[in-house]
Amino acid sequence: MKLGVFTVLYRDLPFEQMLDKVVELGLDAVELGTGNYPGDAHCKPDELLADGQK
- Per-residue confidence (pLDDT) for residue 5, from 0 to 100: 96
Q: Residues 6 or more apart from 42 whose CB is under 8 A from it?
A: 7, 8, 11, 15, 18, 32, 33
- Per-residue confidence (pLDDT) for residue 52, from 0 to 100: 82
Count of domains observed in the chain: 1
Condensed to tens digits (0 to 9), the pLDDT of residues 26-44 reads 999 999 998 888 888 888 8
In terms of pLDDT, which residue wins out, 7 or 52?
A: 7
Query: What's this model's pTM, rounded to 2 decimal places?
Result: 0.77
- Per-residue confidence (pLDDT) for residue 37, from 0 to 100: 85
Mean pLDDT estimate for the chain: 92
The residue range of the domain holding 39 is 4-50
The three-class DSSP label of residue 26 is: coil
